Protein backbone atom coordinates (compact mmCIF):
# COMPACT_ATOMS: atom_id res chain seq x y z
CA UNK A 1 0.00 0.00 0.00
CA UNK A 2 1.30 3.43 -0.96
CA UNK A 3 0.17 6.32 1.24
CA UNK A 4 1.01 9.97 0.65
CA UNK A 5 0.38 12.85 3.00
CA UNK A 6 0.06 16.04 0.96
CA UNK A 7 1.00 19.23 2.76
CA UNK A 8 3.58 21.96 2.92
CA UNK A 9 4.40 21.52 6.61
CA UNK A 10 1.53 23.15 8.52
CA UNK A 11 0.42 21.77 11.89
CA UNK A 12 -2.56 19.94 10.37
CA UNK A 13 -0.31 18.28 7.80
CA UNK A 14 2.07 17.11 10.52
CA UNK A 15 -0.85 15.85 12.62
CA UNK A 16 -2.23 13.85 9.69
CA UNK A 17 1.17 12.33 9.00
CA UNK A 18 1.59 11.33 12.66
CA UNK A 19 -1.95 9.92 12.90
CA UNK A 20 -1.52 7.98 9.65
CA UNK A 21 1.75 6.42 10.76
CA UNK A 22 0.17 5.44 14.09
CA UNK A 23 -2.90 3.92 12.39
CA UNK A 24 -0.76 1.95 9.93
CA UNK A 25 1.27 0.56 12.82
CA UNK A 26 -1.79 -0.26 14.97
CA UNK A 27 -3.53 -1.98 12.06
CA UNK A 28 -0.34 -3.84 11.10
CA UNK A 29 -0.63 -2.67 7.49
CA UNK A 30 2.33 -3.08 5.18
CA UNK A 31 2.47 0.45 3.79
CA UNK A 32 4.94 2.99 2.56
CA UNK A 33 4.00 6.39 4.06
CA UNK A 34 5.49 9.39 2.26
CA UNK A 35 5.16 13.11 3.00
CA UNK A 36 4.76 15.16 -0.19
CA UNK A 37 5.61 18.83 0.38
CA UNK A 38 6.17 20.09 -3.18
CA UNK A 39 3.24 22.38 -3.99
CA UNK A 40 3.30 21.51 -7.70
CA UNK A 41 3.05 17.79 -6.93
CA UNK A 42 0.23 18.47 -4.46
CA UNK A 43 -1.67 20.51 -7.05
CA UNK A 44 -1.22 17.69 -9.59
CA UNK A 45 -3.56 15.62 -7.40
CA UNK A 46 -6.18 18.37 -7.61
CA UNK A 47 -5.87 19.12 -3.90
CA UNK A 48 -6.41 22.81 -3.20
CA UNK A 49 -6.72 22.57 0.60
CA UNK A 50 -4.20 20.66 2.65
CA UNK A 51 -3.68 18.31 4.29
CA UNK A 52 -4.46 15.67 1.72
CA UNK A 53 -4.43 11.90 2.05
CA UNK A 54 -3.67 9.78 -1.01
CA UNK A 55 -3.93 6.00 -0.87
CA UNK A 56 -2.63 4.04 -3.86
CA UNK A 57 -2.70 7.23 -5.99
CA UNK A 58 -6.36 8.00 -5.09
CA UNK A 59 -7.19 11.16 -3.13
CA UNK A 60 -9.41 9.98 -0.26
CA UNK A 61 -9.42 13.12 1.92
CA UNK A 62 -8.39 16.76 1.77
CA UNK A 63 -8.73 19.95 3.76
CA UNK A 64 -8.96 18.43 7.24
CA UNK A 65 -7.55 15.93 9.72
CA UNK A 66 -9.93 12.98 10.22
CA UNK A 67 -10.63 11.29 13.55
CA UNK A 68 -8.52 8.21 14.23
CA UNK A 69 -11.57 5.99 13.59
CA UNK A 70 -12.32 7.67 10.26
CA UNK A 71 -8.67 7.38 9.26
CA UNK A 72 -8.66 3.65 10.03
CA UNK A 73 -11.86 3.20 8.01
CA UNK A 74 -10.26 4.99 5.03
CA UNK A 75 -7.18 2.79 5.28
CA UNK A 76 -9.26 -0.39 5.53
CA UNK A 77 -11.56 0.57 2.66
CA UNK A 78 -8.70 1.52 0.33
CA UNK A 79 -6.31 -1.38 0.92
**Does residue 10 carry a catalytic annotation?**
yes
Q: Which of 10, 11, 39, 48 is catalytic?
A: 10
pLDDT-based confidence at 19, cuts 50/70/90? very high
Burial label for 9, CB within 10 Å (0-12, 13-18, 19+), is exposed
Class of domain 2-77: alpha beta
Are the CB atoms for 50 and 12 separated by under 8 Å?
yes
The DSSP bridge pattern shows strands 2-6 and 32-36 to be: parallel
Q: Give DSSP secondary structure letters for 15-33.
A: HHHHHHHHHHHHTT---EE
Q: Which of 3, 5, 6, 13 is catalytic?
A: 13
pLDDT at position 63? 96
Question: Percent of the chain beyond pLDDT 70?
Answer: 100
pLDDT tens figures, 22-43: 999 999 999 999 999 999 999 9
pLDDT tens figures, 65-75: 999 999 999 99
Q: How many CA atoms lie within 13 A of 5 on its CB side?
A: 26
- Whether 79 shows a pLDDT value over 90: the answer reads no
Amino acid sequence: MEIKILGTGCASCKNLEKATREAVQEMNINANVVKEEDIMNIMAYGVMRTPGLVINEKVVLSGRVPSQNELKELLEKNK
